[in-house]
């Protein structure tokens, strides 16, 4: 079986936005997108060779992500080195949101979900 990778939020959605050449971030456009890993690597390398001010000028990055995205790219490239995959799935929603939605769906009354959410907050998951 081929390795299937799914990236959630942050760096992966930023790279997907750049891949699609979006003029601004569009959650619906990137959520569920499947991108060739080689394309993600190419964008990652380009970003790492740019200065902070150059990255800030790109749509979907801005001031808050201009420096952080390079570290995220390094992590993504390492993951692709360890688990080579032809493609990378993109999910705009984070892991905690998915866990919370699953818990809420499984518990119509919400009691267990609220307790689980409280435990997650206490553990700072």
DSSP string, 64-92: HHTTHHHHHHHHHHHHHHHS--SEEEEES
What is the per-residue pLDDT for 47? 96
**Whether the Cβ atoms of residue 8 and residue 94 lie closer than 8 Å to each other:** yes
Q: What is the pTM of this model?
A: 0.74
Structure tokens at 91: 């999910």
**Whether the Cβ atoms of residue 7 and residue 76 lie closer than 8 Å to each other:** yes
**Would you place residue 21 in the very low, low, confident or very high pLDDT band (cuts 50, 70, 90)?**
very high
Greater model confidence, 125 or 104? 104
Any idea what DSSP says for residue 108? Answer: T
Rounded to whole angstroms, the Cα distance separating 17 from 33 reads 10
What is the per-residue pLDDT for 44? 95
What domains does the chain contain, in order, with CATH numbers? 5-93 (3.30.420.150), 95-125 (no CATH)
* Rounded mean pLDDT, 11-18: 95
Greater model confidence, 94 or 54? 54
């Amino acid at each position: 079986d081929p390795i299937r990778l799914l990236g959630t939020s942050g760096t992966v959605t930023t790279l997907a936005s750049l891949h699609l050449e979006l003029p601004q971030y569009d959650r619906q456009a990137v959520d569920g997108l499947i991108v060739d890993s080689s394309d993600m690597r190419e964008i990652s390398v380009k970003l790492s060779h740019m200065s902070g001010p150059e990255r800030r000028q790109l749509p979907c990055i801005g001031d808050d992500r201009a420096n952080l995205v390079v570290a995220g790219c390094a992590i993504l490239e390492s993951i692709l080195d360890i688990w080579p995959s032809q493609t990378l799935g993109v999910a705009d929603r984070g892991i905690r949101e998915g866990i919370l939605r699953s818990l809420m769906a499984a518990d119509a009354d919400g009691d267990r979900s609220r307790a689980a959410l409280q435990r997650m907050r206490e553990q700072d998951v």
